[in-house]
Structure 1
């Protein structure tokens, strides 16, 4: 009787794991498709695959357990695999309380991140964090504005036509009450020494 009593618990855990995975995916910032679309797609595929594997497992084992019990086991496994594969470290980015506009985290040649953004919207991110990604917490002054930041993007720039290196960066915009904000480009920021180029990681461009 015990094996039949445990089935509702397995099914419950399967549902919880899907809800947790969906919630985690909704919080993930994306650069192309909206998070809700990817979440629905992931849940639909997970359900279909889990039930297909559940049917196969029930037949192969000739078990009296319900198909949805096996499906729940596979749903739990898929959710755990997703969570582990999508794990990202969490870091806090500090922004001056009066700053609005684009923030750029330039890839540095240093081991540590420098997420204390200056008055020009410049901070520094190390190579590993840039490549692996992270879950950001955005603090402006004393306020948490993480939910106000809608999207993140990556970019690269060669400062001159003769430059054989490019500077990479992660950027996002700090919302303002007015849209009439003129952001300085990276070349201009370098000229006014708002960016310390000695700290930057330079990726060599492919020869033409």
Structure 2
């Protein structure tokens, strides 16, 4: 009976590891590739789980092997990671037929405005910008989040005198366009409401 239970626990541990890897590969990242997350965190996960499992086996003076206890902690840690991925997310609404670069400018307001205009411009509050976020991206009532993999932060620097700060979070809605308007071009067509931007 014990050997069967250990087999089930070890199997669930392996299954949890595979599912954790799959979730990490689907995680949106600001800079690094999802594969980097896997290669970085998987060895750490296994090492920590092994240490905790080893010490728990000693404390309990159990006849179960260390791999079984290691699997228990793998299941626990992967479950916590899985639960964290399903916390409430922000929803970014993309206009119909829009493709190319989206820029979410840091605003002087409390709260986010993720309804993107026809030029790919939206607004994000400073707190959300600083701590990072994992949005659900909706286009024509379809969830296209999995099609958007890379997020990056940027700022616009100009030689012209301006009282406003132009920090933004950007990502690409496929298919990628050959040319995307920069901040200067967006200002010329009044695509950015500068009254919503923080002053320097």
State the TM bucket, normalised to the shorter chain.
Answer: 0.7 to 0.9
Q: 1:84 to 1:145 in 2, by over 3 A?
A: closer
Question: Relative to structure 2, which stretch is displaced further, 110-119 or 44-53?
Answer: 44-53
Contact 2:103 2:122 in 1 (8 A): yes
Structure 1 residue 63 corresponds to structure 2 residue 62: yes
Residues 72-109 of structure 1 show CA distances to partners (whole Å, capped at 9, x for unaligned) of 22223433454567675322222222222211011122
Equivalent residue, structure 1, for 2:182 = 185
Q: 1:32 to 1:114 in 2, by over 3 A?
A: closer
CA RMSD for the aligned pairs? Answer: 2.9
Residues 21-66 of structure 1 show CA distances to partners (whole Å, capped at 9, x for unaligned) of 2222111122443212322432233223322332333234322122
* Rounded Cα–Cα distance in structure 2 between residues aligned with 1:144 and 1:84: 20
Question: Relative to structure 2, which stretch is displaced further, 12-21 or 189-198?
Answer: 12-21
Question: Relative to structure 2, which stretch is displaced further, 135-144 or 183-192?
Answer: 135-144
* Rounded Cα–Cα distance in structure 2 between residues aligned with 1:187 and 1:96: 22
Provide the TM-score with structure 2 as the length reference.
0.81
* Rounded Cα–Cα distance in structure 2 between residues aligned with 1:86 and 1:133: 13
Give the strand-richer structure, 1 or 2: 1
Provide the TM-score with structure 1 as the length reference.
0.78
3-state SS, counterpart of residue 134 of structure 2: strand
3-state SS, counterpart of residue 135 of structure 1: coil
Equivalent of residue 192 in structure 2, options 186, 190, 195:
195
Identify unmatched segments of 5+ residues in structure 1: none
* Rounded Cα–Cα distance in structure 2 between residues aligned with 1:33 and 1:63: 41
Offset of residue 19 of structure 1 = 3.1
Taking the TM superposition and a 5 Å limit, the aligned residue runs for 1:55-94 are 55-80=54-79, 82-83=81-82, 89-94=88-93
Q: 1:68 to 1:101 in 2, by over 3 A?
A: same
Q: 1:168 to 1:84 in 2, by over 3 A?
A: farther
Q: 1:201 to 1:164 in 2, by over 3 A?
A: closer
Identify unmatched segments of 5+ residues in structure 2: none
Higher normalized contact order (CA 8 Å, seq sep 6+, divided by chain length)? 2
* Rounded Cα–Cα distance in structure 2 between residues aligned with 1:63 and 1:143: 51
